[in-house]
């Protein structure tokens, strides 16, 4: 049996409410512009025909309650509050009608974004990685199984900074619903247990600064918190 040249990095893993075992993370898919009012505030048109995606490495995961440093390379660091779907059963070309059978659970997520770098990339028609996929950029609460929360198609989604509400919307305003996303994404990837889908953020995104306390909640799912420390 061959050895490794150096220790392989540990698997990122997420707590599950009411369960001792952790949910091991595989891939993080993120949906862009999935609420009309957020697309509008970003100055772009919505594509109702089909969702689009970008990805974050599982190593970008950070748990709710963490304090993270203000990230390098940006002067416009933004929060994006999102419903996250955790895949528990893999599948390929999943029919919409069967899509929810593949869900392990739901969580609150924050898709943290270096907005200045994302917009520069967007405007130059370059990939979004520098703006979206970086250390501590995928904040996640504990995962809640449908036995505790059902499959939420509606419910309040909110985010506050230092106690002031910045985002307040409803899951019913998702352009592409959870079953649609799972069915569509599974045409392009063999979805696997451990995959996450960040389903997109509503309007009201904005910058945060060192010292800020960010908190969010989704009706029926729970809450999420993040503290921003100084730059390294």
Residues at the interface with Mn ion (CB under 5 A): 80, 111, 201
- In the complex with Mn ion, the residue whose CB is nearer, 112 or 145, is 112
Residue 130, exposed/middle/buried by CB under 10 A (0-12, 13-18, 19+)?
middle
Provide, rounded to whole angstroms, the least separation between the CB of residue 31 and Mn ion.
Answer: 7
Strands 222-231 and 164-170, by their bridges, are: unpaired
Residue nearest to Mn ion (CB): 111
- In the complex with Mn ion, the residue whose CB is nearer, 78 or 102, is 78
User: Using an 8 Å Cβ cutoff, are 34 and 200 in contact?
Assistant: yes
CA pair distance 64, 15, nearest whole angstrom: 10
Provide, rounded to whole angstroms, the least separation between the CB of residue 149 and Mn ion.
Answer: 21
Provide, rounded to whole angstroms, the least separation between the CB of residue 205 and Mn ion.
Answer: 8
- In the complex with Mn ion, the residue whose CB is nearer, 39 or 191, is 39
Those residues whose C-beta lies under 8 Å from the C-beta of residue 54, and which sit 6 or more positions away, are 30, 32, 127, 128, 129, 132, 133
User: Using an 8 Å Cβ cutoff, are 30 and 132 in contact?
Assistant: yes
- In the complex with Mn ion, the residue whose CB is nearer, 111 or 158, is 111
- In the complex with Mn ion, the residue whose CB is nearer, 88 or 131, is 131
User: Using an 8 Å Cβ cutoff, are 129 and 53 in contact?
Assistant: no
Provide, rounded to whole angstroms, the least separation between the CB of residue 18 and Mn ion.
Answer: 28
Provide, rounded to whole angstroms, the least separation between the CB of residue 72 and Mn ion.
Answer: 20
- In the complex with Mn ion, the residue whose CB is nearer, 160 or 167, is 167
Closest to 146 (Cα-Cα) out of 207, 194, 103, 198: 103
Provide, rounded to whole angstroms, the least separation between the CB of residue 132 and Mn ion.
Answer: 8
DSSP sequence for 43-83: T----SS--EEEEE-GGGEEETT-EEEEPTT-S-EEE-EEE
């Amino acid at each position: 049996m061959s050895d490794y040249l150096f220790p392989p990095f540990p698997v990122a893993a997420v707590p599950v409410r009411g369960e001792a075992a952790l949910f091991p993370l595989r891939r993080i898919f993120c949906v862009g512009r999935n609420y009309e009012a957020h697309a509008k505030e970003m100055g772009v048109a919505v594509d109702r025909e089909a969702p689009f995606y970008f990805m974050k490495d599982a190593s970008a995961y950070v748990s709710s309650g963490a304090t993270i440093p203000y990230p390098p390379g940006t002067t416009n660091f933004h929060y994006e509050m999102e419903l996250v779907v955790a895949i528990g059963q893999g599948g390929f070309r999943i029919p919409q009608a069967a899509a929810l059978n593949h869900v392990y659970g739901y969580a609150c997520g924050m898709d943290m974004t270096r907005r200045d770098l994302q917009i520069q990339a967007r405007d130059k028609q370059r990939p979004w990685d520098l703006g979206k996929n970086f250390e501590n950029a995928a904040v996640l609460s504990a995962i809640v199984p449908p036995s505790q929360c059902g499959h939420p198609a509606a419910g309040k989604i909110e985010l506050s900074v230092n106690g002031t509400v910045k985002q307040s919307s409803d899951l019913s305003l998702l352009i592409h619903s959870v079953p649609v996303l799972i069915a569509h994404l599974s045409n392009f990837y063999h979805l696997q247990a451990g995959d996450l889908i960040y389903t997109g953020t509503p309007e009201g995104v904005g910058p945060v600064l060192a010292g800020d306390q960010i908190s969010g909640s989704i009706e029926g799912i729970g809450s999420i918190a993040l503290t921003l420390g100084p730059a390294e």
